Chains A and B, each alone.
Chain A
Amino acid sequence: KAGVTQTPRYLIKTRGQQVTLSCSPISGHRSVSWYQQTPGQGLQFLFEYFSETQRNKGNFPGRFSGRQFSNSRSEMNVSTLELGDSALYLCASSSTGIANYGYTFGSGTRLTVV
């Protein structure tokens, strides 16, 4: 059974640019969540999608956005990149989005903003 696939694994972008990250969840999983991980703040929730609808959003500026397609694949976009956006971006999927059953995480996309 394939796991959660995130592409690309590494990205280097310049301040002011925008970036799109992709996540393919486990087959059959309809919930996809995105997290930002930094050494200083740890893992922070960005947003969650279920059946193409955003169900929840964390406390991030509007530069961070996402979407989910009918095949459950998800993308997140960050516009007008800032140095502080450098982080590991993790995608997690579950069948229902009920966290007590445990999310399965991908290996993440390492974004470096220079």
Chain B
Amino acid sequence: QKEVEQDPGPLSVPEGAIVSLNCTYSNSAFQYFMWYRQYSRKGPELLMYTYSSGNKEDGRFTAQVDKSSKYISLFIRDSQPSDSATYLCAMSVYEENSGAGSYQLTFGKGTKLSVIP
């Protein structure tokens, strides 16, 4: 079982729809939760990050974390064709290796979203 599971889609919605993207995880040590957006031929860009359970809103985007269920979601309201991209969830935990350490990201495989005009 992978540490982070994400439905790869593809997901196709009409413009203006509400989009729900989800990830589940198995490692209860994960502390920080992020959503990245990746356009074709580009690197991922950070959309949202959260630490605690609950909701965080930024414009049309809402990130939701439920640590008790090990489940995170990203909601996109009033979706636009420019939102068409692959959305990756990511989580981090402090990893130590031979005395040194840092926070490392574990990614879901990504959900490909298409918003149809």
Contact = CB atoms under 8 A, between A and B. Distances in A.
A56 B49 contact: no
Interface string B43-81: 111100101000000000000000000000000000000
Contacts of B46: 102-104
Query: Which secondary structure characterizes the binding site on chain B?
Result: strand
Contact of B45 (A41, A44, A105): A105
B110 to A, nearest CB: 6
A53 to B, nearest CB: 7
Contacts of B42: 107-108
A98 interface: yes
Contacts of A54: 100
Nearest to A41: B109
* A-B pairs, 9 with minimum CB distance: A105-B43, A100-B32, A42-B109, A99-B92, A99-B103, A102-B46, A43-B107, A97-B102, A55-B100
Contacts of A53: 100
A98 B102 contact: yes
A22 B74 CA distance: 33
Contacts of B113: none
Contact of A100 (B51, B101, B109): B51
A30 to B, nearest CB: 11
Interface in A18-71: 31, 33, 35, 41-45, 48, 50, 53-58
